[in-house]
Amino acid sequence: MSTSRPTILLFRNDLRLSDHAALTAACAAGRSVICLYVNDPHPADPMGGAQRWWLHHALSAMAAQIAQLGGQLVLRSGPTQTVLSQVIAETGADEVHWSRRYTPKAVAADTDLKTQLKAQGIRAESHAGRYLFEPWQVATKSGTHFRVFTPFWRACLAQLDQVSPALPIPADLKLYRQLPSEDLPDWGLLPTRPNWAAGFGPLWTPGEAGAFARLGHFLSSRAHGYAEGRDFPAEARVSYLSPHLQMGEVTPRQILASLRRAEATGDIGERDATKFLAELGWREFAAYLLYHTPSLPDVEFQPKFAPFPWRDAPDDLIAWQHGQTGYPIVDAGMRELWQTGTMHNRVRMIVASFLTKHLRIDWRTGLVWFHDTLLDADVASNAASWQWVAGCRADAAPYFRIFNPITQAAKFDPSGAYIRQWVPELSALPDRYLGAPWQAPEAALHGACVRLGASYPHPIVDHANARSAALDAFGGLSLKS
Ligand SMILES: Cc1cc2nc3c(=O)[nH]c(=O)nc-3n(C[C@H](O)[C@H](O)[C@H](O)COP(=O)(O)OP(=O)(O)OC[C@H]3O[C@@H](n4cnc5c(N)ncnc54)[C@H](O)[C@@H]3O)c2cc1C
């Protein structure tokens, strides 16, 4: 009898039990569910080092959550197709459900998987949940896809009321009996020697419960004033939800529902709520752009920028990666990234602009570093953002607008609290010199125990020269169209 057969729920970057359409479908007709996570040696989108740390803890949290419900998160290594065939042979399962992924490589892998399972007589079904809208649900009036954010988001908002309510954890969840499972620590997801992730633990709680705690904390005590505060890195007025969203521990429609409730209770005003929702819109747009432009992580969105003469400057790249450029706001950001696995959005823009414009190092090099070091590393958001900063996206800031790291520091870190936190060797400098210590008089440097070139580097490039060199390089391109 087919209904007595178990169903497999294949988890990937959807590590939650609530608002999980695939899990809800897997439980239909009273079937018992095998919760499976596969450590595939050739995943469609390999994770960077920081995200592997997150994955370890998210899987561990999820295993505990499932165990509390009397079930088991089955961990297996091997090619996904092979592992699925083994589990099917062991259990007689005849259905596999999973959450849809949208990156070009994941779409190809999942299409292939579906074909292979169907050929074995196994029902394979994918389900939505990662975004408010799937990339094919939003189109221009003429049926083409959007290339710029504002009309895209307007079109999304026009159909926001059609987003269905978030699903609860299925009440009829029946979990399959025990199966052989591997030990998570054996997967080696955590760094050991050196343990560069030592600073992550106190800051983050991977897992569904951690995601909801973060969301609740943000909406009840941080969201008020978000629209303005979100630009000031020292204020911590942002949600820090991105790694949870990336691992699928909370869904955008759960966030939307919580946002509406917080608006109703007055915890967040309309302006702040609109701005916060629009940031989720940027996430939607990045996934949409990537889906419709699969070359986004590799090739300039506007081909006219492709011939830009990038510099091969390994020493400058190392200085940028290590937070040793001599520009305190850049160095603060790069050190925050290394020590915490995240970086404030405003500072991401400043450091990315510095790499691509001041140092003229290829945006793809920065993208790779971010992918390895960010806990929220996301193929779509990372590529879309780097292309935006480098100026080659359709809706990017004009290429001649080059972030000035000195004035950006003065404007967005006026008290210097952010720079002082991450570049402590400058902490005794008066506020007005913090963004550009080389402009401080000798007495001020001396008084603050700063020795340029010894305790803190000289700037690796001169801002004005670097700016004009970047503009010259852009000037050599045909940018008319
Ligand atoms: C060069 C560069 C690279 C980036 N790489 C990534 C990345 O790999 N992964 C990633 O999630 N974000 C990336 N971002 C976008 C943004 O910096 C982060 O999403 C944001 O800082 C996360 O912090 P938060 O959750 O506190 O954001 P909040 O301000 O609280 O925003 C709420 C949510 O909206 C989404 N969001 C906010 N801003 C953006 C944005 N500009 N683009 C896309 N989504 C956004 C995130 O999911 C975020 O969690 C990048 C930005 C830049 C400039």
pLDDT recorded at residue 2: 42
* Number of the ligand 1 atom closest to the C-alpha atom of 241: 25
Calculate what percentage of the chain has a pLDDT beyond 70: 99
Nearest to 260 by CA among 279, 274, 240: 274
- The rounded distance, in Å, linking the Cα atoms of 254 and 132 is 10
Q: Which domains does the chain have, with CATH numbers?
A: 2-130 (3.40.50.620), 131-166+208-292 (1.25.40.80), 303-475 (1.10.579.10)
Which residue CA neighbors atom 40 of ligand 1 most closely? 282
Mean pLDDT score, 307-326: 97
* pLDDT tens digits, 46-98: 999 999 999 999 999 999 999 999 999 999 999 999 999 999 999 999 999 99
The DSSP-derived string for 424-459 is: GGGTTS-GGGTT-GGGS-HHHHHHTT--BTTTBPPP
Q: For the chain, how many residues are written? A: 481
Structure tokens at 62: 């999820």
Structure tokens at 440: 């401080």
Residue linked to tokens 């008319």? 480
- φ/ψ region of 391 (left if φ > 0, alpha if ψ in -120 to 50, else beta) reads left
* pLDDT bucket at 236, cuts 50 / 70 / 90: confident
Structure tokens at 46: 């390999």
Q: Is 194 helix (H, G, I), strand (E, B) or coil?
A: coil
Give the CA-trace dihedral at 328, 334, 340, 342, to 10 degrees: 110
Is the distance from the beta carbon of residue 231 to the nearest atom of ligand 1 less than 6 Å? no
* pLDDT tens digits, 382-412: 999 999 999 998 887 778 889 999 999 999 9
- Residues forming a β-bridge with 127: 99
Which residue CA neighbors atom 6 of ligand 1 most closely? 382
Tell me if 277 sits within 8 A of 259, measured CB to CB.
Answer: yes
Taking the centre of ligand 1 as the mean of its atom positions, its distance from the CA of residue 377, in whole angstroms, is 9
Q: What is the mean pLDDT of the chain?
A: 96
Measure Cα distances from 140 to 228, 280, 393 in Å.
31, 20, 18
Mean pLDDT score, 416-433: 97
* pLDDT bucket at 192, cuts 50 / 70 / 90: confident
Taking the centre of ligand 1 as the mean of its atom positions, its distance from the CA of residue 132, in whole angstroms, is 16
pLDDT for residue 3 is more than 60: no
Which DSSP helix (H) or strand (E) runs through 11? strand 7-11
- φ/ψ region of 259 (left if φ > 0, alpha if ψ in -120 to 50, else beta) reads alpha
pLDDT recorded at residue 297: 97
* pLDDT tens digits, 270-279: 999 999 999 9
pLDDT recorded at residue 22: 98
Tell me if 409 sits within 8 A of 329, measured CB to CB.
Answer: yes
Nearest to 175 by CA among 31, 290, 59, 329: 31
Is the distance from the beta carbon of residue 85 to the nearest atom of ligand 1 less than 6 Å? no
* pLDDT bucket at 476, cuts 50 / 70 / 90: confident
Taking the centre of ligand 1 as the mean of its atom positions, its distance from the CA of residue 362, in whole angstroms, is 21
Tell me if 50 sits within 8 A of 197, measured CB to CB.
Answer: yes
Q: Which mutation among 277, 385, 389 tests ligand 1's pocket best, with the greatest number of atoms within 8 A of CB?
A: 385
Residue linked to tokens 């702040």? 272
Which residue CA neighbors atom 48 of ligand 1 most closely? 242
pLDDT recorded at residue 397: 75
Select the more confidently predicted residue: 128 or 400.
128
Phi, psi (deg, nearest 5) at residue 202: -65, -15
Which residue CA neighbors atom 30 of ligand 1 most closely? 239
* pLDDT bucket at 1, cuts 50 / 70 / 90: very low
Query: Cβ contacts of residue 480 below 8 Å, gap of 6+?
Result: none
Q: Which mutation among 222, 259, 363, 381 tests ligand 1's pocket best, with the greatest number of atoms within 8 A of CB?
A: 381
- The rounded distance, in Å, linking the Cα atoms of 298 and 301 is 9
Is the distance from the beta carbon of residue 370 to the nearest atom of ligand 1 less than 6 Å? yes
Taking the centre of ligand 1 as the mean of its atom positions, its distance from the CA of residue 162, in whole angstroms, is 25
pLDDT for residue 480 is more than 70: no
Is the distance from the beta carbon of residue 272 to the nearest atom of ligand 1 less than 6 Å? no
- The rounded distance, in Å, linking the Cα atoms of 98 and 125 is 7
Is the distance from the beta carbon of residue 285 to the nearest atom of ligand 1 less than 6 Å? no
* Number of the ligand 1 atom closest to the C-alpha atom of 218: 30
pLDDT recorded at residue 143: 94
Taking the centre of ligand 1 as the mean of its atom positions, its distance from the CA of residue 478, in whole angstroms, is 31
Taking the centre of ligand 1 as the mean of its atom positions, its distance from the CA of residue 267, in whole angstroms, is 23
Cα angle: 296, vertex 298, 302; to 5 degrees: 55
pLDDT for residue 155 is more than 50: yes
Q: Which residues are catalytic?
A: 279, 282, 310, 345, 363, 386
- The rounded distance, in Å, linking the Cα atoms of 80 and 14 is 16
* pLDDT tens digits, 15-47: 999 999 999 999 988 899 999 999 999 999 999
* pLDDT bucket at 207, cuts 50 / 70 / 90: very high
Q: Is 363 helix (H, G, I), strand (E, B) or coil?
A: helix
- The β-bridge relationship of strands 7-11 and 95-99 is parallel
Q: Is 99 helix (H, G, I), strand (E, B) or coil?
A: strand
Structure tokens at 21: 């359409």
For 222-270, list the strands marked E by DSSP: none
Taking the centre of ligand 1 as the mean of its atom positions, its distance from the CA of residue 279, in whole angstroms, is 8
- The rounded distance, in Å, linking the Cα atoms of 79 and 100 is 18
Is the distance from the beta carbon of residue 47 to the nearest atom of ligand 1 less than 6 Å? no
What is the Cα 219 distance to its own chain's centre?
20
